[in-house]
């Protein structure tokens, strides 16, 4: 953009203060004067400079978001929910991906200087830096992370659903289990799932790591697992993508799911319903996590709330056919 408020003022024959008031509706402006101003604005195609406005208002009207990656539906879904609500609230969204990035600290600080607050996924940001951000007074909302002082946290319930899932599997009568996608990078949510499942299954379940939480890694790890000696009767996966990989591996090895091996996921991404067999999983409200994060941030920024909130959204066990036969099968 190019034309400034001064040119509008000159053309309308008024002061810049009047132009500002006329445009924002703050303070009184004579009807006649407003006309003149609007006409000038129209003719010059004037749009207030975002930089000027922000500097004067002392706010960016923008939110940040920090994620490791955008592979798979999880981050994308949360991000969309976040962006949608942020947009409703008149705030832009500035993104920062950390995967494979060096000097993350600098990038985050730069981001902090561009926004009024930010959403950070799990443990994307190193702990000392988090502490520093909190100390600097940056408004933060963490998604999928354990509560910490000085910032909001927002997550889905894990332990309880994991226990319910494990209990359901046990009812199928299985004896040997594997948890595929062991919590590596201190992902709180995956860790909780593992703890919940193990709480019920005890020594009957062993943890197996995958490099990342992707279809490919799940595929690879499951292949090794299913080919190995003591093949598990059921594989509980950290998330749907890993589970999709496990499904693939089983099929390639000529194993029937759930006949030879049962498989479960987590998240209930779109593909879970369409997988063959349809995936038993735990539904997590991803979109809503993002939407809530945006609202929480807004409350923090506007000052509508000043004490951190820690919200846990409920999840839902979705039993489909990949975990075993059920008495009265209900089509999904």
Using CB under 7 A, list all residues that contact DNA: 1-2, 4-6, 13-18, 20-21, 23-24, 26-30, 32-33, 46-49, 51-53, 55-58
Are 245 and 218 a contacting pair, CB within 8 Å? yes
- Collapsing DSSP states into helix, strand and coil, what is residue 65? strand
Residues in the chain: 332
Residue 4 vs 195, nearer CB to DNA: 4
Q: How far is the CB of 121 from its own copies (least distance, A)?
A: 15
Whole-angstrom distance, CA of residue 31 vs CA of residue 37: 10
Tokens of 73: 């539906």
Residue 160 vs 277, nearer CB to its own copies: 277
Are 143 and 154 a contacting pair, CB within 8 Å? yes
Q: How far is the CB of 97 from its own copies (least distance, A)?
A: 5
> Which residues, 6 or more positions from 207, have their beta carbon under 8 angstroms from its beta carbon?
178, 179, 182, 194, 198
Return residues touching its own copies (CB under 8 A): 1-2, 45, 47-52, 54-55, 60, 62, 69-71, 73, 76-77, 79-80, 83-84, 87, 92-97, 100-101, 107, 109-114, 136-137, 214-216, 219, 245, 248, 251-252, 270-271, 274, 276
131 touches which of DNA, its own copies, none (CB within 5 to 8 A by kind)?
Answer: none
DSSP string, 226-279: HHSSS--SEEEESSHHHHHHHHHHHHHTT--TTTT-EEE-SB--HHHHHSSSPP
184 touches which of its own copies, DNA, none (CB within 5 to 8 A by kind)?
Answer: none
Q: How far is the CB of 233 from its own copies (least distance, A)?
A: 23
- Residue 187's alpha-carbon distances to 137, 172, 295, 328, in angstroms, are 25, 29, 24, 37
Q: How far is the CB of 246 from its own copies (least distance, A)?
A: 12
312 touches which of its own copies, DNA, none (CB within 5 to 8 A by kind)?
Answer: none
Element (H, E) at 9: helix 5-12
221 touches which of its own copies, DNA, none (CB within 5 to 8 A by kind)?
Answer: none
How many C-beta atoms lie closer than 10 Å to residue 318's C-beta? 19
245 touches which of its own copies, DNA, none (CB within 5 to 8 A by kind)?
Answer: its own copies
Q: How far is the CB of 77 from its own copies (least distance, A)?
A: 8
Nearest to 82 by CA among 129, 121, 50: 121
How many C-beta atoms lie closer than 10 Å to residue 234's C-beta? 26
4 touches which of DNA, its own copies, none (CB within 5 to 8 A by kind)?
Answer: DNA
Residue 24 vs 50, nearer CB to its own copies: 50
């Amino acid at each position: 953009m190019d034309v400034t408020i001064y040119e509008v003022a000159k053309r309308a024959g008024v002061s810049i203060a009047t132009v500002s008031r006329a445009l924002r509706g703050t303070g009184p402006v004579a009807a006649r004067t407003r006309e003149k101003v609007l006409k000038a604005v129209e003719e010059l195609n004037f749009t207030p400079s975002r930089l000027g406005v922000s500097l004067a208002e002392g706010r960016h009207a923008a939110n940040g978001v920090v994620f490791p990656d955008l592979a798979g539906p999880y981050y994308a879904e949360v991000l969309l929910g976040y962006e949608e609500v942020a947009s409703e609230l008149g705030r832009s969204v500035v993104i920062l991906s950390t995967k494979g990035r060096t000097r993350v600290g600098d990038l985050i600080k730069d981001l902090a200087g561009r926004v009024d607050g930010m959403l950070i996924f799990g443990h994307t940001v190193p702990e000392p830096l988090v502490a520093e951000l909190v100390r600097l007074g940056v408004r933060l909302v963490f998604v999928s992370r354990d509560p910490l002082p000085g910032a909001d946290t927002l997550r889905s319930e894990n332990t309880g659903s994991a226990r319910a899932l494990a209990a359901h599997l046990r009812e199928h009568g299985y004896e040997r289990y594997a948890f595929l996608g062991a919590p590596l990078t201190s992902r709180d949510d995956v860790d909780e799932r593992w703890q919940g499942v193990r709480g019920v299954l005890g020594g009957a379940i062993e943890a197996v790591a995958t490099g990342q939480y992707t279809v490919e890694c799940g595929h690879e790890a499951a292949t090794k697992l299913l080919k190995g000696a003591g093949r598990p009767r059921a594989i509980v996966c950290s998330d749907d993508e890993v589970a999709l990989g496990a499904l693939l591996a089983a099929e390639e090895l000529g194993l029937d799911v759930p006949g030879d091996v049962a498989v479960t996921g987590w998240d209930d991404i779109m593909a879970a319903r369409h997988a063959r067999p349809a995936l038993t999983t735990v539904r997590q409200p991803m979109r809503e996590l993002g939407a809530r994060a945006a609202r929480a941030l807004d409350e923090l920024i506007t000052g509508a709330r000043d004490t951190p909130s820690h919200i846990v959204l409920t999840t839902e066990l979705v039993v489909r056919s990949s975990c075993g036969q059920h008495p009265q099968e209900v089509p999904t």
